[in-house]
């Protein structure tokens, strides 16, 4: 059964991707070429690409809910990743926009959110994020497909138990791959070492 990650970016889609790889699935995460096909309305080509993978996540798949549900319906499973709250997501997308401010990244954000950078239009970004999550949940309830939707937030403590129960697979004996959390810890560790080194030089 096909699996689609339908949470917006910066909601833990990369963690989902690596978790699915760990479980043995053939998973595809963000690819610029896929978004280019989406921007040109070549949905049939994207659906053909999807046939070559077990799981797909990040752009453009969350933007293709109508096409995915028309094509796969209850023959697929869908995973809505979210953050612990909307502000956490907004802060993450702002940091991401600051790190990725090239023309290509700005063009993608403009197409998705209407503005290249969330700074100054925070409420607009928040509204789109919340509207997406709400519309996904409402759809699955109305269609009686709630057993085909997993609604998770890694930073609220969800992990292997929720994911593996949903997919009906065994829980692996490894830590859940919190990608952004790991990056944050690494940065924090480097900062501490840098501060300690500076203090030694001052002493």
Cβ atoms of 5 and 13 within 8 Å: the answer is: yes
Per the structure, how many domains does the chain have?
A: 1
Q: What is the pTM of this model?
A: 0.88
Please state the rounded mean pLDDT for residues 90-106. Answer: 96
Q: pLDDT tens for residues 119-172?
A: 999 999 999 999 999 999 999 999 999 999 999 999 999 999 999 999 999 999
CATH no. for residue 162? Answer: 3.40.50.300
Report which of 37, 41, 32, 29 is spatially closest to residue 3, judged by C-alpha positions: 29
Find how far residue 78's CA is from the centre of its chain.
Answer: 12
Rounded CA separation 126/89 (Å): 8
In this model, does residue 184 exceed pLDDT 50? no
- Asked if residue 179 has pLDDT above 70, the reply is yes
Model pLDDT, residue 186 = 38
Structural domain that includes position 186: 2-202
Of residues 190 and 95, the one with the higher pLDDT is 95
Instruction: State the pLDDT at residue 181.
Output: 60
Which tens digit of pLDDT belongs to each residue from 24-83?
999 999 999 999 999 999 999 999 999 999 999 999 999 999 999 999 999 999 999 999
Closest CA relative to residue 15, chosen from 98, 61, 81: 81
- Range name among 21-25, 72-76, 170-174, 192-196 with the lowest pLDDT average: 192-196
Average pLDDT score over residue span 177-181: 80
Would you state the pLDDT for residue 85? 97
Residue 4: helix, strand or coil by DSSP? strand
pLDDT interval class at 183 (50, 70, 90): very low
Which residues have a Cβ under 8 Å from the Cβ of 187 and sit 6 or more positions away? Answer: none
């Amino acid at each position: 059964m096909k699996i689609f990650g339908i949470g917006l970016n910066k909601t833990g889609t990369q963690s989902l991707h690596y978790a699915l790889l760990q479980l043995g699935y053939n998973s595809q995460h963000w690819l610029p070429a896929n978004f280019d096909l989406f921007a040109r309305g070549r949905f049939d080509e994207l659906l053909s690409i999807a046939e070559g993978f077990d799981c797909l996540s990040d752009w453009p798949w969350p933007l293709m809910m109508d096409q995915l549900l028309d094509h796969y319906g209850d023959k697929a499973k869908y995973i809505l990743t979210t953050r612990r709250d909307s502000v956490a997501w907004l802060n993450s997308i702002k940091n991401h926009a600051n790190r990725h401010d090239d023309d290509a990244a700005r063009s993608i954000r403009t197409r998705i959110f209407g503005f290249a950078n969330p700074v100054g239009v925070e409420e607009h970004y928040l509204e789109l994020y919340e509207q997406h999550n709400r519309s996904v949940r409402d759809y699955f309830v109305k269609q009686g497909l709630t057993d085909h939707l997993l609604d998770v937030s890694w930073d609220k403590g969800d992990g292997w138990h929720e994911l593996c129960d949903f997919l009906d697979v065994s829980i692996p004996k490894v830590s859940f791959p919190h990608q952004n959390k790991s990056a944050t810890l690494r940065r924090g560790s480097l900062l501490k070492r840098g501060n300690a080194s500076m203090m030694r030089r001052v002493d």
